[in-house]
């Protein structure tokens, strides 16, 4: 049996390892589009902050890991998948046959179509190569404009600041991290950033970038033109699936899959940021683009590839944790609330502490927080375990910070 996994992110690597556990005899090929050993994007901010060397971003630290598991690593790009004859084509012209195929090609940064976006001093912050270029330009005293105050934008703020740059963030939305924060949290985060000396322009948009001498002129719709040495574009990502356009695999925002992470073609599966998987909370199908989901996908897809659809995915819970220059925020599940639900809020603006719980009947369905880190994982436990809160619902409505007690009380009664 030959398994081919395309994409060496967390999803692909986890899938390979899971397959190996389940089938000692299998032939496993892992195709990575990059020259480096499989690495983690999650670690790039820490590389930029010079907390770790490049090798510190690697998904697995043992150099022999893949050899040891007898996984063939192929550093090529896949140009085409021919589902009809169970083969795929590589950029070097080679063709590979598979029995089972997993597509875990992840996503890539996308840039808005504006003038000057291709200039040499304008970069995404997505790959190790991007990181190297940013590190080169973002030196002490330089001016940097960061386009996009989303998850990636926020997480690299600290590393940029540590490098001693003057930083301006330009966000199209009316608040920071609109995809994981409400007005209150986004507003708090903005004032936090400003208190650390970062200029934040919300409801603004970079309209064009031009070169004047060594510097860049950044024209901004809604604000004054800025001069910068470096522009980092972190405005969004899209799934890497252009190589599938001519295949018979059904595509939407990502690759469409069923509850087994299987595409419309029986022996082709998809996982991670490229897969439009099931969301636990509302049972809708969309791309979550988060590490735990990628790993979960990779594992479940692998089990189903080896053990013919024996493992049903009940949906991943969408969750994020973000450290913005020391202010830690989280969001879980339906943090924005649900129709007919109730919410409980604690807010201490002065100290940047915020905790909002969302309930539906007797269940916790979502949480967003600022400044809360201890035992925060129980939020996942409570939501995912569908823990019936009983008297703790009322207690949490009164004091949301008693999450851990609520969790223990409900897990003890269920254990």
Q: How far is the CB of 260 from another protein (least distance, A)?
A: 10
Tell me which DSSP letter residue 279 carries.
Answer: B
Q: How far is the CB of 148 from another protein (least distance, A)?
A: 19
**In the complex with another protein, which residue's Cβ is closer, 228 or 306?**
306
**In the complex with another protein, which residue's Cβ is closer, 243 or 332?**
332
CB 377 within 8 A of CB 353: no
**In the complex with another protein, which residue's Cβ is closer, 86 or 358?**
358
Q: Which residues pair with 107 in a beta bridge?
A: 239
CB 204 within 8 A of CB 221: yes
**In the complex with another protein, which residue's Cβ is closer, 135 or 328?**
328
Q: How far is the CB of 279 from another protein (least distance, A)?
A: 13
**In the complex with another protein, which residue's Cβ is closer, 121 or 331?**
331
Q: How far is the CB of 100 from another protein (least distance, A)?
A: 16
Question: Using alpha carbons only, what angle is made at residue 273 by residues 80 and 181, rounded to the nearest 5 degrees?
Answer: 150
Q: Which of 193, 186, 188, 185 is nearest to 169 (CA)?
A: 193
- Complete DSSP assignment for 114-129: -BTTTSTTEEESSSHH
CB 23 within 8 A of CB 1: yes
**In the complex with another protein, which residue's Cβ is closer, 96 or 379?**
379
Backbone angles phi, psi at 99, to 5 degrees: -95, -40
Q: How far is the CB of 90 from another protein (least distance, A)?
A: 27
Provide the H-helix boundaries in 49-179.
65-68, 128-137, 151-162
Q: How far is the CB of 401 from another protein (least distance, A)?
A: 5
**Gyration radius (Cα) of the chain, Å:** 23
Question: Using alpha carbons only, what angle is made at residue 293 by residues 412 and 234, rounded to the nearest 5 degrees?
Answer: 130
């Amino acid at each position: 049996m030959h398994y081919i996994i395309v994409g060496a992110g967390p999803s692909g690597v986890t899938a390979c390892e899971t397959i190996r556990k389940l089938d000692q005899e299998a032939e496993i090929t892992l195709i990575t589009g990059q020259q480096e050993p499989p690495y983690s994007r999650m670690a790039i901010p820490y590389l930029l902050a010079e907390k770790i060397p490049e090798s510190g971003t690697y998904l697995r630290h043992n150099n022999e890991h893949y050899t040891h598991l007898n996984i063939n690593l192929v550093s090529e790009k896949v140009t085409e998948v021919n589902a009809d004859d169970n083969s795929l084509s590589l950029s070097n012209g080679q063709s590979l046959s598979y029995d089972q195929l997993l597509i875990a090609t992840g996503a890539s940064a996308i840039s808005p179509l504006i003038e000057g976006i291709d200039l040499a001093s304008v970069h995404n912050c997505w790959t190790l190569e991007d990181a190297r270029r940013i590190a080169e330009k973002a030196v002490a005293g330089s001016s940097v404009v960061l386009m996009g105050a989303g998850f990636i934008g926020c997480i690299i703020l600290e590393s940029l600041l540590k490098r001693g740059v003057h930083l301006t963030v330009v966000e199209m939305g009316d608040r920071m991290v609109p995809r994981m924060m409400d007005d209150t949290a986004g507003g708090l985060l903005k004032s936090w950033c400003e208190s650390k000396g970062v200029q934040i322009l919300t409801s603004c948009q970079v309209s064009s970038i031009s070169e004047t001498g060594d510097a860049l002129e950044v024209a901004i719709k809604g604000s004054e033109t800025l001069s910068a040495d470096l522009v980092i574009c972190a405005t969004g990502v899209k799934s890497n699936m252009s190589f599938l356009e001519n295949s018979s695999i059904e595509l939407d925002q990502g690759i469409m899959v069923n509850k087994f992470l299987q595409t419309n073609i029986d022996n082709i599966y998809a996982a991670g940021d490229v897969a439009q998987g099931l969301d636990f909370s509302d049972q809708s199908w969309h791309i979550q683009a988060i590490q735990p989901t990628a790993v979960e996908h990779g594992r479940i897809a692998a089990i189903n590839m080896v053990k013919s659809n024996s493992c049903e995915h009940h949906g991943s819970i969408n969750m994020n944790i973000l450290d913005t220059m020391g202010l830690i925020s989280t969001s879980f599940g339906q943090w924005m609330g649900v129709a007919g639900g109730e919410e409980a809020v604690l807010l201490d603006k002065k100290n940047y502490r915020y905790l909002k719980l969302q309930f539906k009947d007797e269940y916790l369905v979502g949480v967003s927080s600022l400044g809360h880190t201890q035992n925060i994982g129980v939020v996942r436990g409570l939501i995912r375990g569908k823990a019936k809160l009983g008297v703790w619902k009322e207690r949490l409505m009164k004091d949301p910070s008693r999450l851990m007690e609520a969790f223990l009380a409900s897990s003890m009664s269920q254990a």
